[in-house]
Structure formats: structure tokens, C-alpha cells
Structure 1
Amino acid sequence: MTVTSFRARPQPDEVARVTSTAAELLEVVWGRASTAPASASQLRVLLVLEHQDGINLRTLADCLASTPPSTSRLCDRLQAAGFIDRDVSPTDRREVRLHLSGHGRSFLADLRERRQQELQSVLNVMPPAKRAALLEGLEAFCDAASTQKRHETGADSRSA
């Protein structure tokens, strides 16, 4: 006779707490992979530009919840390091558009590769069934987060 372990469905607050802990540990694991010349703030800029190529400084500042002067200084450092490019908007000479440079793209690809290797070393010690469950849960999380983001973006564009 086999006794099946019964576990009540976890509540969202418990899952949020465990996910937060996992995210903190993920930062530690990713930190082992980082020989990055970019700070956490600079990395956020690169990731935003990767997904929103050609945005202006004000939009980037909004994405970072920062001020335009602080964001401009951050971009100055990234441009000096060769990670981003700036160009004048074809529609408004006063507006500067921001782009991830080839060097910035290479940097992100290399960083992702190193992070993936560090993650794989942790996942290798997990039992296969737990890895499968983690994958299923993370896929569902990504789907939910993407759906929420689309709804928020759609609501923002309708109210503008």
C-alpha cells in the first residue's frame, strides 16, 4: 500500500515568498557568472534597449523609474564603453534615439551564456522530476507575466 503525500494547494503569498527567495538566490548564482564591466543599472539599460530599440531618453528613464539627467549620465558611461549608440531622430532633431551597439549585443550574449552555465550546474544536482516541475511552473509564470504586461501596455495606450 502506497501512502500519497497530500499537500494543500499553496496560496499565492507562499508562492510569492518562495519565488522571491529563489530570485535572490538566482542573483547570487548569476553573480558568479558575472565578470561584467556593467553595473546592475547599466545592465538594465542594455536589456531595455535590447527589447525597445530606438527609444528616447525620457522613455528609457520612465522604464527605469529614474530621472532623465541620471539616465543620461548612465547612457554617457555606456556609450563611452561602446555598449550603446545614440543618433538623432529622423523626425525631430532635438530627440536622441538610443540603440544597443554590436558590442552591447555581444556582451549580453556572452553574459547569458555564462549565466546559463552557472544555472546548469545547479540544475544538474536537482532530481529530473523536480527539474520538469520547475520548467512547467516557470513556463506558466512567463505566460502569466507576459499576459499581464500586454494588458497593462494595452490599458496604458488606450488611456493616452
Structure 2
Amino acid sequence: MTVTAFRHRPEPDEVARVTSTAAELLEVLWGRASTAPASASQLRVLLMLEHHDGINLRTLADSLASTPPSTSRLCDRLQAAGFVERVVSPVDRREVRLHLSGRGRAFLADLRVRRERELRAVLALMPAARRVALLEGLEAFCDAAATRIHDDAEDAGSQTA
């Protein structure tokens, strides 16, 4: 599928379709780059912990749209692999805080290096002007997605309050 030039202003449906295809192709490329000892669900946990260090199990489960027992089992496997550390909260001994271990951080760093290598190989096949356009579009997409995620989190917080 090639989009050479837009003779019209692309509709959100068209852009969503192409973006979805790009995401699927990214998964294929990243799968080639991965010798991951972690499943896709476990990788999501690691990424959440990287961005929310010290999160508790219930909050992590809510963020993953999962149940605490299921999330706990994921964390059990990640802890056994040395990627996650559990620490009892100094405030409430019933609460356990989750942290990404040094090994978990090293795993994510290595995974990113391998993924970026795959991406560079594809990007090198693109003309420079298209790479600039892609970068600008992705920056705008990231800003819009972050805003939506932030707004959704605020809405969820106000509904539980």
C-alpha cells in the first residue's frame, strides 16, 4: 500500500486505516527484533512500571484493564525473571509497591536498541522529505494521544471520586 500524494484532505477514517496498518507492520518488525523472554502482556507491565515507578498492584491492574489476581500472576513471572521488584509500602504494610529492577531496565533498553535498528533499516529506504513528514505527523500524533490519555485518566479519576 503506497500513498504517494494526497489530492484531497485525508479523512480521519483513511488515516486511521493507514495508521492501523503501520502499527501492524511495526509489530512484525519488532517481533523480528525481539528475543524477548517476556510476553506482550508482561512487556506492557514493564512499560507501565517504567513510567509509574512504585505503582501498587490494584492501580496497575486497573491501568491494564485486568484483574488484580491476573496482574499479580504476571508480576510473579516478571519477578521470577528478575525484571520486577516488590516492596512493602512504608505507609501501609498491606500494600505492595512494584518497581522495575535494574535487569528490567536493561532488558527494555536492549529491546529498544533492537527495535530502533529495525526501524532505521526501514526509514533508510524512505526519501528524506517523507521522513520529515513522518516525523512531524508522529509528533502531532503523540501530542494528541497523550492529551487524550491524560483527559481519559482525569475523567476516570473524577468518576471514582
Q: TM-score, normalised by structure 2?
A: 0.93
- 2:98 is matched with 98
Q: Secondary structure at the match of 2:55?
A: coil
User: Quick one: distance in 2 between partners of 1:135 and 1:76?
Assistant: 38
Amino acid corresponding to residue 57 of structure 1 in structure 2 = L
Structural mapping, 1:9-158, within 5 Å: 9-158=9-158
Q: Give the Å deviation of 1:147.
A: 1.4
User: Quick one: distance in 2 between partners of 1:6 and 1:105?
Assistant: 42
Amino acid corresponding to residue 143 of structure 1 in structure 2 = D
In structure 2, do the counterparts of structure 1 residues 6 and 132 end up closer, same or farther at CA, with 3 Å as the change threshold? closer
Q: Give the Å deviation of 1:154.
A: 2.6
User: Quick one: distance in 2 between partners of 1:25 and 1:146?
Assistant: 22
Q: Give the Å deviation of 1:6.
A: 6.0
Q: Give the percent of matched residue pairs that are identical in Structure 1 and Structure 2.
A: 77
Q: Give the Å deviation of 1:7.
A: 1.0
How many residues align? The count is 156
User: Which runs of 5 or more structure 2 residues have no equivalent in the other structure?
Assistant: none
Q: Give the Å deviation of 1:18.
A: 0.6
Q: Secondary structure at the match of 2:107?
A: helix
Moved more, 41-50 or 145-154: 145-154
User: Quick one: distance in 1 between partners of 2:63 and 2:149?
Assistant: 13
Q: Secondary structure at the match of 1:24?
A: helix
Larger Rg computed on CA atoms: 1
User: Which runs of 5 or more structure 1 residues have no equivalent in the other structure?
Assistant: none
User: Quick one: distance in 2 between partners of 1:83 and 1:28?
Assistant: 24
Q: Secondary structure at the match of 1:99?
A: strand
Q: TM-score, normalised by structure 1?
A: 0.93
